[in-house]
Amino acid sequence: QVQLVESGGGLVQAGGSLRLSCAGSGRSFSSSPMGWFRQAPGKEREFVSGISWSGSGTDYADSVKGRFTISRDNAKNMVNLQMNSLKPEDTAVYYCAADGPYDALATFRRDSHNYWGQGTQVTVSS
């Protein structure tokens, strides 16, 4: 059973911070690009951030640059997303995703991925 499980979502005031975590199980994701997408009510799922298998490369959507930071801990089979200066428009369900071993980070912005988590709700009040 291969799974990605997100945690850390919740309700926060505008300008506040949250830290999301994604824990993998059933296989090692230490050689795979990983990252985050989000989907707001009535809107399509959109790319948020990705990180290469080694952690040496990162990618961010323009809407979150300078506010969000992605990181990973391969020893724990986890990826994290530190979200600062949160805005009401960040409100969405956030999904963790992973690709195959050694897949390129440059392709991670696509909506197609090998594995998806169940999602965690982030709500930012105005």
Q: Are strands 120-125 and 10-13 parallel, antiparallel or unpaired?
A: parallel
Q: What is the pLDDT of residues 6-42, one digit of tens each?
A: 999 999 999 999 999 999 999 999 999 999 999 999 9
Q: Is 75 helix (H, G, I), strand (E, B) or coil?
A: helix
Strands 78-83 and 68-73: antiparallel
How confident is the model at residue 49, as a pLDDT?
98
Tell me the two tokens of residue 59.
């990618």
Condensed to tens digits (0 to 9), the pLDDT of residues 85-124 reads: 999 999 999 999 999 999 999 999 999 999 999 999 999 9
Using CA atoms, how far apart are residues 90 and 74, in angstroms rounded to an integer? Answer: 27
Q: Are 100 and 112 in contact (CB under 8 A)?
A: no
- Contact (Cβ atoms closer than 8 angstroms) between residue 2 and residue 26: yes
* Helices and strands counted in the chain (H then E): 0, 11
* Closest by Cα among 91, 121, 124 to 8: 121
Pairing label, strands 3-7, 58-60: unpaired
Q: What is the pLDDT of residue 34?
A: 98
